[in-house]
């Protein structure tokens, strides 16, 4: 019998029995709702045995939708697929988020349907300039330039201070979202998101501006380097119960920030966004992305990056890398933004950030192209059309 190792532990027969028993209980619930001739879509590995259970009782078509994956094989992925292999034959079709995620056992009956964003949600809908200013000011991400019609949010964004504590984001000083060039990354606090390499690369970019290492032939380019600020934003980790590593990652990032010289610290804002209101949080992300000159997703590993698509939809040029599976399918290098070769290569990140900041015409062009690209491929309407195509093939 082949040994199966998951998370460093061997999966025994009792673990599989528990897995199948849990799915059997869910299968009994589903049988009351599934009729002959239905198309049943099962999402991800947790309920994968459902197809076989339902097919024994109903004449149905089954599709497995896998939202996760890894674009290279290793011992962990091989063990996981061995564990799931007994359930694969019960599926007529499978849908993945990237071609690299399709295993050999599904190769003859799989297709890629990219995730899509909803352009009408609070996170993605168009915001007038007045609304952007209001959201940023009401969440303490900016100082209001004048009186506001709306009231401050009950829960405000917090910014890391030089003393290592978090305080209201604009208490120390205004971040400069309404006037300065801004480089932004919005992500979960996760080591795989590449926050620290981006932080160190930006710090080096600022040092070169302060120390005059590059020629001052174009005063606007030079001034942009001096004024640009970095915003690293993510959810308040205390509000995310299913992300226990978030606090530890934020602590590591805080230590890296506190080790920087004060003049560099001034131009970096590490911000936590409250989750008390999901709508207000979404509006903060929306306004923050729209106020940015460049949005970065420096992930070391990344599936389909929704924050990438969100920024592209807002006509903001994006910087990511070709090592991360999702972004290299979403971003066309030098057409929608830029793709680094290695998210850990700080010298390359410095060069790309400097190049992108220096070329405002290219940024405008990339932003327009990016929005068109999302409109054609990565909105929920395209996703729905792809599903309808699949169901039409099945129905025929």
The tokens describing 164, both together, are 């290592």
- pLDDT tens digit string along 140-158? 999 999 999 999 999 999 9
| Helix, strand, or coil (residue 235) | strand
The tokens describing 278, both together, are 């999901």
| Residue 10 scores a pLDDT above 70 | no
Do 5-112 and 129-376 have matching folds?
yes
Strand-pair category, 110-112 with 337-340: unpaired
Predicted TM-score (pTM) of this structure: 0.90
Looking at residues 197-226, what average pLDDT do you find?
82
Distance (Å, rounded) from C-alpha 289 to C-alpha 177? Answer: 10
The tokens describing 371, both together, are 């929005």
| Helix, strand, or coil (residue 148) | coil
pLDDT at 1: 45
Percent pLDDT > 70 in the chain is: 95
Phi, psi dihedrals of residue 297, rounded to the nearest 5°: -130, 90
Q: How confident is the model at residue 6 (pLDDT cuts 50, 70, 90)?
A: very low
Question: DSSP state, 117?
Answer: B
Specify the range with the lowest mean pLDDT, choosing from 32-46, 113-127, 199-213, 291-305: 199-213
Looking at residues 21-46, what average pLDDT do you find?
94
- For the segment(s) 5-112, the CATH number from 3.30.460.10, 3.40.50.2000, 3.40.50.410, 3.40.630.30 is 3.40.50.2000
Residue range 129-376 forms a domain whose CATH class is: alpha beta
Distance (Å, rounded) from C-alpha 58 to C-alpha 93? Answer: 17
| Residue 161 scores a pLDDT above 80 | yes
Distance (Å, rounded) from C-alpha 67 to C-alpha 133? Answer: 36
Looking at residues 343-353, what average pLDDT do you find?
97
Residue ranges covered by each domain of the chain: 5-112, 129-376
Can you give the length of the chain in residues?
396
pLDDT at 210: 77
- pLDDT tens digit string along 246-267? 899 999 999 999 999 999 999 9
Q: Where are the beta strands (DSSP E) in the chain?
A: 5-6, 9-10, 39-43, 61-65, 93-96, 110-112, 158-160, 166-168, 182-186, 229-235, 268-273, 294-296, 318-321, 337-340
Determine the angle formed by the axes of helices 346-358 and 219-227, rounding to 10 degrees. 130
Looking at residues 378-384, what average pLDDT do you find?
95
């Amino acid at each position: 019998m082949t040994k199966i190792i998951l998370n460093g532990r061997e999966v025994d027969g009792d673990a599989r029995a528990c897995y199948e028993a849990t799915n059997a209980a869910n299968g009994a619930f589903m049988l009351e709702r599934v009729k002959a001739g239905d198309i049943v879509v099962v999402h991800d590995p947790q309920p994968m045995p459902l197809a076989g259970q339902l097919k024994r009782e109903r004449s149905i078509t089954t599709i497995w939708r896998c939202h996760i994956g890894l674009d290279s094989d290793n011992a962990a992925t091989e063990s996981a697929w061995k564990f799931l292999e007994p359930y694969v034959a019960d599926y007529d079709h499978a849908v993945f988020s990237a071609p690299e995620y399709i295993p050999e056992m599904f190769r003859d009956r799989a297709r890629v349907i990219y995730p899509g964003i909803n352009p009408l949600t609070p996170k993605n809908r168009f915001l007038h300039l007045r609304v952007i200013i209001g959201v940023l000011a009401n969440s303490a991400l900016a100082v209001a330039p004048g009186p506001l019609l709306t009231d401050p949010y009950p829960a405000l964004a917090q910014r890391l201070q030089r003393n290592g504590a978090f305080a209201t984001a604009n208490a120390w000083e205004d971040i400069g979202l309404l006037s300065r060039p801004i480089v932004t990354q919005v992500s979960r606090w996760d080591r795989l998101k590449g926050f620290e390499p981006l932080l160190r690369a930006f710090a080096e970019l600022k040092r070169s501006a302060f120390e005059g290492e590059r020629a001052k032939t174009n005063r606007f380019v030079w001034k942009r380097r001096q004024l640009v600020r970095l915003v690293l934003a993510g959810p308040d980790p205390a509000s995310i119960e299913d992300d226990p590593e978030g606090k530890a990652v934020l602590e590591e990032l805080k230590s890296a920030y506190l080790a920087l010289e004060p003049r560099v610290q001034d131009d970096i804002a590490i911000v936590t966004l409250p989750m008390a209101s999901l709508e207000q949080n979404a509006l903060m992300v929306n306004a923050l992305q729209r106020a940015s000159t460049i949005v970065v997703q420096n992930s070391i590993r990344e599936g389909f990056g929704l924050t990438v698509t969100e920024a592209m939809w807002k006509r903001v040029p994006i910087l990511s890398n070709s090592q991360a599976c999702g972004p290299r399918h979403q971003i066309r290098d030098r057409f929608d933004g830029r793709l680094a070769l290695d998210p850990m290569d700080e010298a390359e990140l410095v060069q790309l950030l400097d190049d992108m900041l220096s070329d405002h015409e290219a940024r405008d062009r990339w932003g327009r192209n990016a929005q068109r690209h999302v409109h054609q491929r990565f909105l929920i309407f395209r996703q729905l059309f792809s599903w309808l195509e699949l169901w039409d093939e099945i129905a025929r």
